[in-house]
Amino acid sequence: MTRELTCIICPKGCRLCVEGGDNRLTVRGNACPRGEQYAIAECTNPMRTVTAVLRVSNRYDTMVCVKTESPVPKAAMFAVMERLHQTTVTAPVSIGDIVMDDLFGSRIVVTKGAI
């Protein structure tokens, strides 16, 4: 198998070429080791960080921002959003607070709080 990818780990956007079979993949074009990790993950189990906003049950004029603390399976992004849409938080919440412990393997962490 050969697959062309654009690395999205950092803004450089290296063009990567992944070659190989089931148990051994080789990566070319990466400027750093993280590019290699990304390319292999992208060809085996692609992951994405999801960011979103949550409603605050006791505030009408503000939203709380959250992210998956670690990447979740790319295929699960919409399922993550659906769960987050059903979730509200209660102020006060602070940046860094954990609002869910395990959503597709990641904690949900607050990135902008509400006082």
Partner 1 sequence: MMHYDIVVVGGGPAGMAAAVAAYDAGCTRVVILDREPQLGGILMQCIHNGFGLHKLGRELTGPEYADVYAQDVARRAIPVLTETTVTNITPDRVVTAQSRHGIVKLQAGAVILAMGCRERSRGALRICGTRPAGIYSAGTAQKLINCMGYHVGKRVVILGSGDIGLIMARRMTLEGAKVEAVCEVMPYSGGLTRNIVQCLEDFDIPLYLNTTVAQVHGQKRLEGVTIAQVDGQRRPIPETRRFIPCDTLLLSVGLIPENELTRAAGVPMDPITGGALVDEHCQTQIPGIFACGNVLQVHDLVDYVSEEAERAGAGAAAFVRGSALLNTSINTQPGNGVRYVLPQTITDTTRDVSLFFRVSHPMGKVRCTVRSGADLLTALPRPRVAPGEMERITVSPDLLRRAGDTITVEVEELP
Partner 2 sequence: MTYDVVIIGAGVIGGMLARELSRYELSVCLLERENDVSTGASRANSGIIHGGYDPVPGTLKAQLNTQGVELLFEAAKQLNVPHKRNGSMVCAFSPEDETLLQTLFERGQANHVPDLTLLSGEEARLLEPELSPAVTRVLHVPNAGIISPYELTIAAVGNAMDNGVALLRNFEVTSILWGREQFRVTAADGQVVSGRFLVNCAGGYSDRIAAMVGDTFFTILPRAGEYLLLDKAEGHRAHHTLFQCPTKEGKGILVSPTVHGNLLVGPTAVRVPTPDCTSTTPEGLAQSERLAAKSVPSIDFRQVITSFTGVRASTAGEDFILQPSPSVPGLIHAGAIDSPGLTCCVSIARYLTNLLSQQGLVLQEKADWDGTRPDPCAFRNLSDDEKDAYIKANPAFGKIVCRCETVSEGEILQAIRTNPGARDVDGVKRRTRSGMGRCQGGFCAPYVMELICAETGISMEQVTKCGGASRMVLGRIGTI
- When CB distances are held under 5 to 8 angstroms depending on the partner's kind, the choice from partner 1, partner 2, none that residue 86 binds is partner 2
* Other Cβ atoms within 10 Å of 96 Cβ, number: 9
**46 closest CA partner among 15, 69, 71, 9:** 71
Q: Is 83 in the site for partner 1 (CB under 8 A)?
A: no
Q: Is 23 in the site for partner 2 (CB under 8 A)?
A: no
Q: Is 83 in the site for partner 2 (CB under 8 A)?
A: no
Cβ–Cβ under 8 Å, residues 66 and 80: no
Cβ–Cβ under 8 Å, residues 2 and 18: yes
Q: Is 41 in the site for partner 1 (CB under 8 A)?
A: no
Which residue's CB is nearer to partner 1, number 21 or number 115? 115
Q: CA-CA distances (angstroms) from residue 103 to 63, 78, 80, 97, 107?
A: 20, 12, 7, 15, 6
- When CB distances are held under 5 to 8 angstroms depending on the partner's kind, the choice from partner 1, partner 2, none that residue 92 binds is none
Q: Is 15 in the site for partner 2 (CB under 8 A)?
A: no
Which tokens sit at 97? 């607070």
Cβ–Cβ under 8 Å, residues 54 and 84: yes
Residue span binding partner 2 (CB under 8 A) among the ranges 37-45, 79-87, 91-99, 102-110: 79-87
Which residue's CB is nearer to partner 1, number 7 or number 100? 7
Binding site for partner 2 (CB under 8 A): 53, 55, 61, 84-86
